[in-house]
Amino acid sequence: MAPWSGLWGGKAGGDAYRGTPVVVKMENPNWSISEISSPEDDDEDILAAAGRRKGGRTKNAKQIRWVLLLKAHRAAGCLASLASAAVALGGAARRRVAAGRTDAEAGVVAATGESPVVRSRFYAFIKAFLVVSLLLLAVEVAAYFNGWNLAASALALPVIGLESLYASWLRFRATYVAPGIQFLTDACVVLFLIQSADRLIQCLGCFYIHIKRIKPKPKSLALPDVEDPDAGYYPMVLVQIPMCNEKEVYQQSIAAVCNLDWPKSNFLVQVLDDSDDPLTQTLIREEVAKWQQQGARIVYRHRVLRDGYKAGNLKSAMSCSYVKDYEFVAIFDADFQPHPDFLKRTVPHFKDNNELGLVQARWSFVNKDENLLTRLQYINLCFHFEVEQQVNGVFLNFFGFNGTAGVWRIKALEDSGGWMERTTVEDMDIAVRAHLHGWKFIFLNDVEEAAASVAFWSNAAIQALFTDIIKCKIAFWKKANLIFLFFLLRKLILPFYSFTLFCIILPMTMFVPEAELPDWVVCYIPALMSLLNILPSPKSFPFIIPYLLFENTMSVTKFNAMISGLFQLGSAILSGW
C-alpha cells in the first residue's frame, strides 16, 4: 500500500490525522487506492477507525458497491415520488383543460345550469394551439437533423421529396403567415408600450405621494371614550358580514366585528348567511345567539331563495325596515377580521364631507407565506393597493371598491341604484355607478384589515357599465378616465396584449422567424415592469422569476374573463360567490 502523506500540512507521525485505508488490488503493484481523512474528522472517528484496523477489518470494493446501491435506491425512491406528483398534477391540469373548470366548481356549474360547452371553448382553442405548435416544432427539428437549411435565396432552387415539401412550407410561411403575425406583433407592441407608460406614471404618482407624505386626514377624530356616544362623532353604523358555507372562519369574523371599538348602541351587526349546509347554518346561528347573550347587537339572516348570490344577499339585507335608522354601512367578508379601531379610523372621514361616498381600507393577509401561490398573489395585490388604489384615490377620488373592508354612505348606495345582480363583480359595478352620480372615494393605505385568504376576481358585464357611462351627464374627463383608462386600458387591453404577445406570438416566432419581435419587448421592458410590480413588497424579490411565469399563466385566465365579460359569454352573466 502506498504510504500516507499529510496533504493538509500534517506529519506522518503518530499525532497526524490518518484515514481508514481502502485497498484495491491491481495488476500493477505500483498503484493502490487509499481513503484519506480530512482535518475536520473527529478524534473519536479516528480512534474507531484505528480499532477496526487492529481487528483486521477494512472496507473493500464490495462494501462500497452496496453503499452506492443503497444511495441509488434512495434516489430512485425520490424520483418515483416526484414522478407520481407530476402525474397527479398533469391529470388535474388535463381535467381542468378538458372540462374548463376545477372539481370544486362542478357543483356551482350544476347549480347555475351553465353549459360546459361554452366554458370549454376557450380551453379547446388553447389545446389546438399547443398541438399545432408541437407539430411545427417536430417539422423544424426534422429539418434541422436532415440538413435542410434553406435560406430565402435558395427557395427557388429545385428540390425533391420531403425537402421540396419543406421548401413549399417556407415559401408559404414567408408569404402568407409572417405578414399577419408581424402586423399582430406590431399592434401588441404598441399596446404594450401604452400600458407600460400607464404603469410607470402610476408608480411615479406613488413615489410623489410618499415623498410629499400625502395622506387623507379626517376633519375630526372620534373620541377615545365610546361610553358616551353624545360626546363625539359616533353616527349609526350598520355592519354586514355576507357569508356562504364559511364553517372555518365564521367565528373569527363575528368575534372581530362584535369587538369593534364603537358605542354598542350605535352599531348593529348583520350576519347574512347564505349557507346551504344545515350544519353550518346551525353553527352560525348558535354563534350569533352566544354574542347576543353577551350584549352585542347582532342579528342573523338566512335567505331560502339565494337569488343574485352575494349581490342579492346584500340587496336583501338593505331592504330591512330598520336600515333607515343608520347612516353608514361597513362590509366585511367572512374571511376578514377587522381591528377594533376600524370604525374610529374610517367613519370620521365622512364628517363635514357630504360628497364622500366610500372609505376603503387596505387589506393585509395572514396566509401570504403559506405557499408559493399565495406569495405570488400577494405581490399582485400589494401593487394593486399600494399603487393603483392609492394613486387613483389621491388624484381622482375614484377607484374600484374591493368588496370588503370598506364603509359606504347609505345615501350613496341608494342614489346609485343599490346592489344589482347583473354581474359577478358587484363591487366594481356599484363603485362605477356611484362615481357617475358624483360621489367621491377615499383610500386609506395605512388602515390594514386582515384577510384570511388571497383570491382573485374577474371582469364581467362590461357592456352594461359602458352604457351607463355613455348616458351619464358627467365631465368629459371623467368619462374618458372611465372608458379609456379604467376599462379599456386596464381591464381589456392589458389581458389582451399580455395573452396574445407572450402566450401566442412569442412562441410562434420560434417557428416563424420572419416575424421579428424586438429583444427589448421580450426581456428589458418586462423585467423593468416586474421590478416595479414587486417594489411594494420588497421581501418578495427572491420570487421574481416565478412571478414572471405566474403572470404569463394568469394572462390566460384574465383574457378568458375579459372575453366573457365583454361578450357576456358563459358565467359572465351569472352572479356567484
Q: Which residues are catalytic?
A: 274, 427
C-alpha cell at 253: 369574523
Rounded to an integer, what distance in angstroms lies between the CA atom of residue 100 and that of residue 30? 71
Rounded to an integer, what distance in angstroms lies between the CA atom of residue 190 and that of residue 417? 38
Contacts of 364 (CB under 8 A, 6+ apart): 448, 449, 450, 451
Rounded to an integer, what distance in angstroms lies between the CA atom of residue 330 and that of residue 76? 57
Q: Considering only CA atoms, which of 253, 280, 283 is closest in space to residue 269? A: 253
Rounded to an integer, what distance in angstroms lies between the CA atom of residue 381 and that of residue 386? 8
Rounded to an integer, what distance in angstroms lies between the CA atom of residue 423 and that of residue 265? 35
For residue 350, give Cα distances in angstroms to 60, 234, 442: 85, 11, 10
Chain-centre distance of CA 316, in angstroms? Answer: 31
Rounded to an integer, what distance in angstroms lies between the CA atom of residue 221 and that of residue 155? 79
Q: Considering only CA atoms, which of 114, 88, 87 is closest in space to residue 101? A: 114
- Asked whether the beta carbons of 336 and 250 are under 8 A apart, the reply is no
Angle at 492 between CA 486 and CA 493, to 5 degrees: 100
- Helix residue ranges, H only, 173-306: 178-212, 250-258, 278-293
- Asked whether the beta carbons of 409 and 356 are under 8 A apart, the reply is yes
Chain-centre distance of CA 104, in angstroms? Answer: 18
C-alpha cell at 230: 353624545
Consecutive H or E run containing 151 = none
Q: What three-state secondary structure class fits 1?
A: coil
Exposure string (b/e) for 364-379, b if CB count within 10 Å is 16 or more? Answer: bbebbeeeeeebbbbb
Give helix then strand counts, H and E, for the chain: 21, 8
DSSP 486: I
Beta bridge partners of 363: 449
Q: Considering only CA atoms, which of 404, 418, 415, 226 is closest in space to residue 320? A: 418
C-alpha cell at 226: 365610546
10 Å Cβ neighbour count for 534? 20
- Asked whether the beta carbons of 397 and 430 are under 8 A apart, the reply is no
Q: What three-state secondary structure class fits 248?
A: coil
- Asked whether the beta carbons of 372 and 546 are under 8 A apart, the reply is yes
- Asked whether the beta carbons of 439 and 356 are under 8 A apart, the reply is yes
Beta bridge partners of 248: none
Q: Is 461 left (phi over 0), alpha (psi -120 to 50) or beta?
A: left
